[in-house]
Amino acid sequence: MEMLETPKATIDAYIAGLDPAPRAALTHIRKVLLEAAPEAEEVISYAMPGIGQNGALLTYFAFKKHCSIFPMGNSVFVGMAEEIAPWRTSKGTLQFPPDALPPDDLIRRMVAARIAENLEKKAARKAARKKVAAPDQGL
């Protein structure tokens, strides 16, 4: 029986296969992400390495001319316009050259925002299940 690779082994192999500059960038990003979310697990999501805790948190990837961090939520960049201005962004990505990484503190706050989003979603799902499971007392 063939053993499936763990996400960690897959991520190790992916990063090891990169050119030196993106390898160094993603190694650092990975370290900061794991430090910022010590309870998170490494995951592969949309064929990209990342971390998850109560759902996907962030993924990251190296492209030919840049690296990206993909917060897996819609509101992570809200309130960060000034801080993320030096990099190319969209609703779902922060792009940066491998030699010009965003500050560790910004990455940590992105992780914290995603953890909070996931916890809110989890609480909302739990409340919805409770509401459905509660019998109608008015009959």
Segment 26-48, tens digit of pLDDT: 999 999 999 999 999 999 999 99
Question: Is there a contact between 15 and 23 (Cβ–Cβ < 8 Å)?
Answer: yes
Q: Is the predicted pLDDT of residue 122 greater than 90, yes or no?
A: no
Question: Is there a contact between 55 and 21 (Cβ–Cβ < 8 Å)?
Answer: no
Amino acid residing at 130 = K
pTM of the model: 0.85
Segment 52-110, tens digit of pLDDT: 999 999 999 999 999 999 998 778 888 888 999 999 988 789 999 999 999 999 999 99
CATH number, span 7-121? 3.90.1150.200
User: How far is Cα 127 from Cα 51, in angstroms, rounded to an integer?
Assistant: 26
Q: Would you state the pLDDT for residue 1? A: 43
User: How far is Cα 32 from Cα 8, in angstroms, rounded to an integer?
Assistant: 15
